[in-house]
Amino acid sequence: MKRKYRILLIIFTLLLALDQSSKFYIERNLPLHYSIVAINGVLNITHVQNRGAAFGLMANRQGSSTFFILISFLVIAFILYYFRRIEQGQLWTPFCLSLILTGAVGNLIDRFRLGGVVDFLDFHYKSWHWPAFNVADASITIGVLFLALKILYGGKKAAKEG
């Protein structure tokens, strides 16, 4: 099996299992909108149902669930198409795309099951508060961030070498 597919298989299996099991645990053990202090002054575990995009954007719009399901399918299809085109020997691109793909699939499962996404990681510090998110959201964010860094800094390296 090619290395890029091993990367995809490992990341997808581990992170999807972590994402879905953590969401199931929260659903079964924490009432909606209930919060538990995990790290005092920094992290609460809060059960939130997000029907919109990241940070609750478009949560109250008519048809937003269908829109996000369609967007998820498009993202997944694009990543799977592009993944096949990644050259052998690359490490960061398959790693980043695997993170994004896993997050998209994890949240898509929730949208089909619940009509929204289970969020529960609730970071805050003094008056600053970040909207609740989940493992899938973190995977997407980290994948996009690392891919952007690779494009920004990897592109400069390739240009210098060329």
3-state secondary structure of 50: strand
What is the structure's pLDDT at 51? 81
* Domain assignment of residue 52, given as a range: 3-161
At 82-120, the pLDDT tens digits run 999 998 888 999 999 999 999 999 999 999 999 899 999
SS3 118: strand
The reported pLDDT for the residue numbered 67 is 86
- Which are the contacts of 41, defined by CB distance < 8 A and separation ≥ 6? 124, 125, 126
- Angle at CA of residue 108, ends 61 and 146, nearest 5°: 100
Active site residue 137: yes
Catalytic residue among 19, 110, 119, 122: 119
Evaluate the CA torsion angle 131, 119, 103, 146 in order and state its sign: positive
Contact 4, 86 (CB under 8 A): yes
Q: Of the residues 19, 110, 122, 137, which is catalytic?
A: 137
Distance, first Cα to last Cα, the chain: 31
User: Is 19 known to be catalytic?
Assistant: no
Among 135, 139, 137, smallest CA distance to 147 is for: 139
Closest residue by Cα to residue 48 from 30, 66, 21, 22: 30
Of residues 3 and 63, the one with the higher pLDDT is 3
Instruction: Judge if pTM exceeds 0.85.
Output: yes
- The answer to whether 90 touches 4, Cβ cutoff 8 Å, is yes
For the chain, the domain total comes to 1
- Looking from the CA of 125 toward its CB, the CA atoms found within 13 Å total 0
Residue 141 has pLDDT above 90, yes or no: yes
pLDDT, tens digit (0-9, with 9 covering 90-100), for 37-64: 999 999 999 999 988 666 555 555 555 6
